[in-house]
Amino acid sequence: MREFSLPALYEVPADGNLTDIVRRNAAQHPDVAVIARKVGGTWQDVSATAFLAEVRTVAKGLIAAGVQPGDRVGLMSRTRYEWTLLDFAIWSAGAVTVPVYETSSPEQVRWILGDSGATACVVETDAHATAVESVRDGLPALKHVWQIEGGGLDELGRLGQDVTDETVEERSSIAKADDPATIVYTSGTTGRP
């Protein structure tokens, strides 16, 4: 077998963090659309500044709810705007995202949230909330469950009203380039993920 490699085009600083890009985009290109979301059947651009503000709002709620640096936060949803928002908010709170595939069975949900030690979970739908609730007795570390389609992001916004931007900035800078950002449970070919 022949091997070929090229030097990296970009060197990630040792103190780099995934949340840096959100803050950098807002500082350098505040009005540029960085993402779009579908609202009422129409795609709407979200500027760098607006996205940063939403990330901070959700991160503040997570912090106010007691999510600590290094805590695992489950995220069970299909791919959508809120997934990206929550991923950056979880990292901005200093926590680690644990994705749970949207079609996972309750047993798979219990395994992933239990094995990772998730202290909180955000789900998308009523069915996802039901799956988590059905196994919650077996998840002693799980303290909070919020539902995207049930007003969970608004609830997090209300919870975090007294948390400062400075607190989020401190939490955002805790993780470094070598720290875990996400724990992915892949499908197991002969056993559990």
The arithmetic mean of pLDDT across residues 94-104, rounded, is 96
Q: Which amino acid is at 107?
A: E
Task: Using the predicted structure, report yes or no on whether residue 189 has a pLDDT greater than 70.
Answer: no
Helix (H) or strand (E) segment spanning residue 43: strand 42-47
Of 105, 139, 97, nearest to 122 by C-alpha is 97
Q: Where are the chain's structural domains?
A: 20-172
Q: Which CATH number fits domain 20-172: 3.40.50.280, 3.40.50.2000, 3.40.50.12710, 3.40.50.12780?
A: 3.40.50.12780
Q: Which amino acid is at 90?
A: I
Q: Give per-residue pLDDT as tens, 68-91.
A: 999 999 999 999 999 999 999 999
User: What average pLDDT does the chain have?
Assistant: 95
Q: Which amino acid is at 142?
A: L
Q: Categorize the per-residue pLDDT at 188 as very low, low, confident or very high, splitting at 50, 70 and 90.
A: low
Q: What whole-number distance in Å separates Cα of residue 23 and Cα of residue 20? A: 5
- For residue 10, the SS3 value is coil
* pTM of the predicted structure, to 2 decimals: 0.93
Q: What is the pLDDT of residue 112?
A: 96
Q: What whole-number distance in Å separates Cα of residue 125 and Cα of residue 68? A: 25
Q: Give per-residue pLDDT as tens, 19-53.
A: 999 999 999 999 999 999 999 999 999 999 999 99
Q: Categorize the per-residue pLDDT at 12 as very low, low, confident or very high, splitting at 50, 70 and 90.
A: confident
Using DSSP, how many helices (H) and how many strands (E) does the chain show? 7, 6
